[in-house]
Each structure stands twice: as structure tokens, then as C-alpha cells.
Structure 1
């Protein structure tokens, strides 16, 4: 089921509020400063609490003081582990850097003779309401030409034909993610999202007085006439949604759009190359990093706590705020919303419930991988970034609770 799209205005207001808090209560010491009393407390507590019995043997973690660029605490931070959906931090970074916060996509209706083409532009938040508005405008344009019937085809040629990513079992389709296409309705988990969008569009045209016969996939010929177009919301608002809800389809689509903007192919190789280019640009450590997708679903993906703690810190790094500001409001808030909301049982019980509303972090969950990478303001009033990753925990639910407790340790309330 599609969820309402978060607006750019809401994202801006959230970011402004966060930045106001930063200016009022968060200090910005230079790298020359040494560890604070809060840093020493964090390190001492994490030394005794990590990895803890419920995290298992394969775990890594790191905490940094963002403004100082200083490691506060580290344990197995260079160990390569499956990051799960925490890898979406890198996808957001790349998309915002290459495409920009104001980037939009278009879904178009093109006419060639009596054939109407519904052309996907990679809109990751296209809703049935958006499609209906496009159908209404298209029907009006057709009626102006005295047409009452067309043959409808769908054109998703912006992206190459979908294939399973390395590390994706076939069972992922379509429940975890739909095959990646340039035309899809938000939240639509079917094997061919383009054809389903075309079926919906044909029905909607009918409600506006145009009979449309569906005829499958085809690429619109050059010179086809534009009848109507729908423009998406801004990338800023879409990135917020992708991070909050950990939307796999969105992540893969954004990475392909980013690849195209760099002149790369919109496939797994081009998408991951674009993401890693952005990571390099911001100095994210890439030793041990292996990426086969942009969503973190691949069981062959590998990241380190050092890479993830750096990615998380960029959300509050003042040097990059003009470009990366949507990441902070996009991070789920502990015990409040997104994948850290109460429905997921996160930050709802002792000892992590004291950090409710005080931690923002990207989650990651596979059946044998748990990750939490985000930011919080420590007891010294300074932004701390953190990353905790565990693979092969004996109990996934307990491991989630353990990582929540470690985040509360960084915040300083436990």
C-alpha cells in the first residue's frame, strides 16, 4: 500500500528545527580539542557493554565526535560485515550529491499515430492519484484532437531490463523488492510494475472518456508528440521517505538515476559505481567495502563500522549541509517514527527508552544481520555519530535491543 508522500516543506521545517537546536545547544569545537568527559564516559561504558552476549561474536562498532573528526570509541571497526539497509545512507549521499535536492522526474504521455506511450522517467514516488491526474490531462489533449480511443503501450526503457543483483535470492521478488524498472507506482510489489501502471492508466483513461487497449512494452519512437506530463516532488522529500521507511525500491531507483546523471549505465554496476564515487568524494573509508546493490539487500554486500559511522556523521556535518540536509530529517527518530517507531518495538523499554526522541539513525535488518548507524547529541552538547553492526546474532530481536541500548549509551542517558 502506498503511503502519503512527505512534502519538501515538512522536510525543510524539520531540518531547520534540527539546525536551530545545533546553534543553541551543540558546540562545534575544532579537531584540536581532546576527548571530553562525556567521550571518556562513552568509551568506558561501551568497553564493558560491547558486544554483550546478545550481539553474538561477529560485531563491529565505532563512535565519533563529528565536529572534531575524532574517534571516541572503536571495536572491530574495520571488520567487513553485511550492512543490510544501513547501506541506504550511501545511496542517499550519492543521489543528493549528483542530482541535487531540487531534482525531479517526469512521467510522460506521448502520442505517435494512434498509439499512446506511457513513458517512465524513474519517478520513485508516482502514486495512482498522480497517474489519474496525468490521465485526465492526456484525455483532454486527445479529445482536443477528436480522438476517443488509443492503443496504449508502456515505455520503461530509461532503465535496462531488470535482473537479480548478485546476492539476491529469487525469493526476494516481489515481496522484498520488485524488479527495478523506470515506471512503477509507489509501493507496488509486482513482477512487472510497468505493465501494472499501464493497466491502471488505461482504466483511468476510460473514466475520462478515452478507450485504451493495452499492448505491452514498447519504446516510444523519436518524434512522438508530448500530450501531458506529471512532474514528481523534489528529491529532498523523496530521500526523506526512502530513509524513514527504508524503501528498497526507492533506493535502487535513485541509484540508477544517479548513474545516468554521471553517464553510467543504469544497472547494478553503474549504480554501485556512482554510489562509491560519492563515498570517495566525502572521504568515507572504503577498505573492505563491497557493494552489489543500493538497498543493502544483497547478501554479498559488505561494509565496515568505520564506513557507516562516517556516512552517518555527514548528516550533521556543517560543511555539507547545503547539499546533504535532507538526510538528517530523513533518519528515523528513536521510538517515534519510521523503522525506529514504536510499531517496531524500538527504544520502548529499559535501558534504551531513555533515548526516545534523542537518537536519529538508519536501521538495517536481514535475517542474520542487524545494523544501526546514526547521530545523537552527547552529554557534552556535541554531535556524535555511531555505527553498530552485527552478523549472525543468536536472537535478532535481542540484537536490535542491544544496539538500541548502545545508542542510548552514546546519548548518555544510560
Structure 2
């Protein structure tokens, strides 16, 4: 079975946590003691029905306020597919948490309250999911029970979002009317909406095609660790030299010719190990160990790729940045630590090209800085070449993390869009 990673997004009180609780409950993916604890907490709060949102809102502050703050990860499976859910916050001050949850997602579910329609956060999260190149997007119009399951309400919201979506690069968009509280169209098709002839949400999640979403053309293998078990008593392991990492792109097989960067030395793969066993091939997102025919001086942060298909070695980089620090703004001349795949270097922001209004998508070219949760386009220079692709081609080799030199905290994420002249 393959694994589908999906994130939920939307405004506050649109029902994200309730939806995930309903998915877990109706698919029988929660333990009896978990359900008993949620039922007990619901009674203590004076609620007439079991509040399924409590299954994901694990922090005490979240339960007390009835909101989601942290990114809550949950896991469940059906006979057809395994799922990893990232329940992301709706509050605007937690946009950075939403970016974290959606950055590795194959699909995003944006919830909209049927009573209120699209709002600022709906548009913000839709823009962010397309900026993060999430391949599949579902607009789930929730709380249909509170508008009498009216088809016109659903159609109006779909039309409004479709017009907004023309400004975005959305590869796959699906509309589903649901009631997370009552379970309508969540796991089973609802009899309350006979006018809707599409699949339930879970059916769509089980059948959405994700195999072609990953880049299987450009071989990219950032080396994370060199394995040399010298101390082993096994004579076969005495000369073992393996290069461990996660396949970021392409398909690797024994006998394939590869090149090492930055040296440019060519060799061939002699073997691929996975969890101590030899495998016939490796592809994203497998974590494997490569053994090569020749002894090459390879260390953490280096890249293995195809001789005629290499990432760009770049020191000058242009990209979209989501700023995550409330303590310090992003300004030109900011010095930062840059983490790209397994390579860490120092860098400096050369220019802030513009700040973007995520509601209108207007570009403010007069902006001089980016504050918490703001998004803009920057140019920066790093001290050593990074082996990068455009984010639109490969989300792993096209993304970077910005780290504060003084505090060692993550302050920003960058989606690489291009390379300035001379970069």
C-alpha cells in the first residue's frame, strides 16, 4: 500500500479538527480508551455530543480555547491506502505552522464554512498550498447541515473559488459538500444531498492518483551519512562503504552510471541496501544506502545524480520566502544559515524584490522588510555552491530553510524560483 500525506487548512472554526476526528472515528482508527477520554472530556465541558475535534487538539491550550495551535499529525489506514494527516492551524498568527504541515503533503483539504463562504484565510491557505506545490487540492464545503443541505449555497461557493483559482497554479481541484459533525459525505455518501453525484471525501482520498506526482526523471540523491562499519567482526563488512540518504528524485538501480557532485567523478552503483537487505531499485521517498564501484571521496552534503542530468550549482538564488520570525524581520543584508537538503552553508539576503498580498495577490515592490507570516520574493547569495533545482521541478532540491545564526531557530522557508544573472 502506498502512503498519502494530506493536510487540512482553512479558517478558524471551519471544522478541520472535527473532520479529522470524524475520519478517524468512522474508519475505526481510534482506540477505545482514546474515545472514552474524549467522551469524558466532552461531558465535563457540558457538550451534548462527543466532540471529535478533541481527538486531534492534544495541547491543553488548544482544548481550553477550542482552537488548533500546533500541527497535529495523525495516522490511519484503510484496506486500500495508508494516511498521514497534518491538522494545521487556522489562525493567521500560525500561518508558519500551516506551511510546515503542507510542505510535505500530497494533497490539501481546504475547509470552508457553508454559512460564511470564502474568507481571507481560505484564500491565504489556497495560495500557500499552490506556492508549496501541493499537487492535489480539495475544497470541502463544511457545515452543509446548517444551511439545509442547499445545493445553491454549495454551487455559489464553488463558483467563487473557481474564479479565485484562475490566478493560482492548481493542478487538480475537487469540490465536496460535507458535514463533519454528522458525517455527511465524509466516509459514506450522504442521503441528505442527493443532488451531489461525486465521491465521499474518504473515497476520493483512497483513489486520488499520486504515483506520478513525484519526480522520477531527475535522479537526485543528497548524501546524509557515510557508513563505514570498521568495528564489525564480520569480514564481509570490513570494506563496506555505503552512502545513506533519501532519494529526492529519479529511479536508481545497480549498474546505473552516476556522477558525484561537487567533484564531477563518474562511477556506477554496485548495490542498493534498504534496512540491511539488498533491493533492485530505489525511488522517492525511499531512504537507502548506495554502494559504488569506485572509491570516491564523498561526504555529507554531497549529491549523486546522472552524468547528463545534473542540478544547477548555484551561489546566487532567487525564490519565494515565507518569513516565520516574530522577533526579527527579514531585511536586505540579513545574514542567515541556509539548509538545503543535507548541506548547510551561510548566506546573505541581497535584495527584497517585493512582498505579496496573499488575499489580492498584489505585489508591493516598495516593501523594505518582511514580518511574521509575510511572503515575498528575495535574492540571496550563499558562501558555497548548492546543487539545486527549481521548486516547481523538485520540492526537495528546490526548497531551503533559513536559520538565525544567533538563536539557531528556523526563521524562514524558501521555494527556489530561479537564478539571477551570474548565479
TM (norm. structure 2) is 0.25
TM (norm. structure 1) is 0.25
Higher relative contact order (CA 8 A, sep 6+): 1
**Structure showing the higher strand proportion among its residues:** 2
